[in-house]
Amino acid sequence: MISPVWNFICTLIEYMTTFFYKTLVFLVLILGSSFSSLAQNGSELLIKANRATLERNYTQAISLYNQFIQIHPNDFRGYFNRGTTEYNAKRFSDAIESFDKTISLNPIYKEAYYYRGMCYVQRNMYTEAINDYTYVLKKDSNSVPFLKQRSEAYAANEEYDRALADLDKAVNLIKLSGDLYKRRAELKVEMKDINGAIRDYNSVEKLIPEYKMVHYIKGNLYLEVEEVEFACDEFKAALANDIVVADQPYLQYCK
């Protein structure tokens, strides 16, 4: 026969177990609802901030990214997006700090190194920029965007041979990129390799047929190597495509 005391204890245990289970379920539901609400608010903030960035309302966008970061302090996206917006707003020091935080949270996110490198270039910190691009290129040596950006940093630091080497590799990887040939031609002009520049501009003419200024540029380069007849042909082509600045050298050298 079960004693009244034991019966009371069993009833009490059953009650407490049921109460604890219901309380636990209630707390889980509350916490789940809170997390869901935070996630929704975070997504909405990102959408609004991205839209403000596209509209070039950088101050508002940065404020919205700051709100997102307060809700999700360990989500690298908030810092990265804020950094790119700060870069667009020419707040390069702030952007570097945002990219520093991005990299601390996600060390393999190469886009953060890309943009931080561009910030360093804007602040004339060329060695730091080169280090960022090199870090990624050690892992992905055929990344054309990073080769091009490192070339720019080398050129800005007057390391022209290294700049040219990076562009040579980029061109070999994407042989039909008129933009790469154009940048290499510009670099060769800086390096006084006029004939090499003309060859690259010939490629630009084929790959970017809408870029009619190339005729005026080639005309001036031909003058530098004393190829007046070729220069005149280019100035004529430039004038035929309404490049009016070609009129003066044409009248001076070709009439």
Is the pLDDT score of 37 beyond 70? Answer: no
pLDDT of the residue at 3: 57
Question: d(Cα 132, Cα 118) in Å, to the nearest integer?
Answer: 9
Is the pLDDT score of 12 beyond 70? Answer: no
Predicted TM-score of the model (pTM): 0.81
Q: What is the pLDDT of residues 151-179, one digit of tens each?
A: 999 999 999 999 999 999 999 999 999 99
DSSP string, 65-116: HHHHHHH-TT-HHHHHHHHHHHHHTT-HHHHHHHHHHHHHH-TT-HHHHHHH
Q: Where are the chain's structural domains?
A: 212-255
Encoded tokens for 29: 């539901």
Is the pLDDT score of 214 beyond 50? Answer: yes
Q: What is the pLDDT of residues 49-77, one digit of tens each?
A: 899 999 999 999 999 999 999 999 999 99
Question: d(Cα 242, Cα 236) in Å, to the nearest integer?
Answer: 10
